Chain A
Amino acid sequence: MKTLSRLALLCLCCMAACQYAGAQYLSSKIADKKVTIRSAVVLPAKVEITKESAKGSQMMVAESAQISSTIFEVVGQTLQQKKISVLKSPFDAQAEAMDDEHKYTLANIQGRYDALLPKLIRKSKDVKKARFSLGDEVMILNVDQNANVLVFIRGQGRVFTKGKTAFSLLNPFSLDFPFVMITIGIVDARTGEVLVFTRPVAASQVLKNPESLRKLITKSLSKLAVSS
């Protein structure tokens, strides 16, 4: 009886997770095609991967940086497939070459998005109601004023060691799985309003295969119309 109820709970959680994983939220302006996105600036992605072993978690700073730049590229390519031109920004991944003022400006706006992110995840549906905004201060990142939108990418993932995998298999009801969750926020480059928000979730295996990663990102932006 105990096992049956646990199994039912596990199934319910999996169903809820699938629903959650595939979710895409578009502001009514985008859904009703009142606003068309033609150009975008993709800001440096921040994806955190940790290695989970039976003895706890460890940081993977270098791997996280590598995956961040891969996802940055993949998102750019996905947008280009939708005929959205991805503009080169003075705030791109070559941050080492930036002066302090540029670094600070970028960090401030990224920080502001990070502060908003928990609320975006919590009530993603409110993106439709245009509830979330970073303010028109984002214009400072759109130096040439050519971009319609700014793209923020965040992610977190867990990679399991063999030991941890064994424990998670032995203890399936702990709902402890290796996964990666990426969030993509597309923000109006002038008003700072969040226009699109998606949060694809997949097994962390996807990180080892760029093609799977590409499919995941493409699917997560499927509702975003191709720019005419």
Chain B
Amino acid sequence: MRLESVPSNLKPLNPRVTVLNLKKRLQASLLATGLSLALLPVTGVNLKAQSSPAQIKTQTNEVFKFDKIDLDLLEQVELLDKRFEKEGLVYHEAGLEEYLNRVGNAVTPDKQMERVAWRFRALRDPTPNAFALPNGSIYINTGLLALLDDEGQLASVFAHEVTHVSKRHTYAQNRSIRKKVLAINILSTIATWNPISGGAGMAIDVIANVSPLILELSIFGYSRELEKEADLEGLKSLTGASYAPEEMVNAFKLLQKDIEGEQLNSFYSDHPKLEDRVTYIGSKIDGKARSISAEELRLAKAQFIAQMEAVDRHDVELAISAGRFRSAKFVSQKLVDFHPDSSENVFYLAESYRSLGPRTPEITESELTTGAKKRSAKTRNKLTLEEQETKLMATADGQRAWKANQEKAEQLYFRALELNRLNSVAHRGLGMLYEKVEKTEAAADQYGKYLEFTPKAADSARFRRRVEILRGLTSDNGNPQRVHPENR
């Protein structure tokens, strides 16, 4: 509506009429704007630059046109890649890097893509997750690597992430969000400065206040659509690379395990529900799936764990440090089952049991209810790990669990030493266990043995100080007992 375009000869003579007309036109215009913006995500009528998954497909098959905003985003993610490296978040192990790139490259598209250089790396993070940057950097967390059973499952994770890159999902999502945020800003301003009273004014108020919420929800909805597309296209890449398609279903089923009891179904979710993903992927592979024999599976699993052994141990350390004690126990148990005569693997299982403290090794049914998960999330946000442990230790169940974990840990530390008497860290673990149960002298002895075997260990000063405190050689203003549970 451009007022200046009204020809002067059509201007009404009565100024009052002009004002009334203007008001009506303003009302109509505001209503129209509000309605069109509110209905936009619901009806699927997209703003010009917003791309639906179908449109993105067309763009990828032809040539994706990079706008300035896409290039800006690309520049930022290139820097982000470097930052992950600099901050020590990327896990380096020559054999593993080579392996990840081999598996990842098997599910990438054949043709060269503009501004994409495929790189597959492990991120030092114990949460089971993976993500893709639009420049072709695919990161898989050590927490997910440790959860997977075989190469086919790893390939299915990569196939999903590769699709996000090949279909340029990040750019599409970014463009879509920018349009929606602009609309939200305009609508919020209309809601603040709505000069119109009466029924029409109220309607504008309602639309301007409700539409931003709908737009926000549509952002999650759009994201879920892209995720579904990544699953389905990923499945095609997976089978194209001769991996069994049911491995994708198996990977989702592993994610459903919820070892820590932290998965909460939220309305504001940017991913489809795991059970839905299992269902729609399952329905796509019905009939096509080649059956995998139990022997084939066992062999594939053994080969995979052998490849992952070092990174899995690293993940156990990370999980313990992050308070994901049950995940640590799960992974280290898997390592011991695979390689029971490895002193190192047995040591990590012992560490996991010690760190569990008053928690049960596996999550209980009662902890898996939605209410229990919500309460647990609230507690995690509110209390430190140490406070959570003290609270649990005050219960009979907590005491019982701690007693069992303590016995199991001690037995495993001894087993680790039996397998390799030079495994000095087992002495350190025993020392920490004894210190926690106030066996002061025994704890000091074990720390002493650790320091004797590895006097130049990076943490030698820490344990020298503990020995001094335990033997009363030093008075200290800080008590090492009052520390992070992992250190206990």
Contact = CB atoms under 8 A, between A and B. Distances in A.
Interface of A: 29, 34-35, 54-56, 58-62, 65, 95-96, 98, 100-108, 110-112, 115-116, 118-119, 122, 131-137, 139-140, 142, 145, 167, 170-171, 173-174, 188, 190-193
Given A139-B462, A170-B193, 7 more contacts: A54-B182, A56-B177, A103-B88, A107-B87, A107-B124, A133-B482, A191-B476
Nearest to B318: A108
Given A61-B79, A112-B321, A171 B483 contact: no
Interface string B321-351: 1110000000000000000000000000000
A54 B179 CA distance: 9
B189 interface: yes
Nearest to B185: A167
Nearest to A116: B384
Interface in B432-482: 458-459, 461-462, 465-466, 476-480, 482
A139 B461 contact: yes
A180 to B, nearest CB: 19
Given A29-B477, A167-B185, A136 B483 contact: yes
Nearest to B480: A136
A65 B458 contact: no
A191 to B, nearest CB: 3
A58 B193 CA distance: 28
B181 A135 contact: no
Contacts of B462: 136-137, 139-140
A193 B384 CA distance: 13
A100 B92 contact: yes
Main secondary structure on A side of the interface with B = helix
A172 to B, nearest CB: 8
A190 B465 contact: yes
Contacts of A140: 458-459, 462
Given A105-B458, A191-B478, A192-B484, A95 B92 contact: no
Contact of B83 (A65, A108, A110): A65
Given A55-B178, A139-B461, A192-B484, A111 B322 contact: yes
Q: How large is the interface on B (under 10, 10 to 19, 20 to 34, 35 or more residues)?
A: 35 or more
Contacts, number: 128
Main secondary structure on B side of the interface with A = helix
Contact of A133 (B73, B177, B483): B483
Contacts of A108: 318, 321
B188 interface: yes
A29 B477 CA distance: 9
Contacts of A104: 88, 124
A29 B181 CA distance: 48
Contacts of A122: 381-382
A60 B487 CA distance: 36
A211 B188 CA distance: 36
Contacts of B461: 139, 142, 145
Given A55-B178, A103-B87, A167-B189, A139 B459 contact: yes
Interface string B394-433: 0000000000000000000000000000000000000000
B384 A170 contact: no
B487 A137 contact: yes
Given A58-B72, A119-B382, A136 B87 contact: no
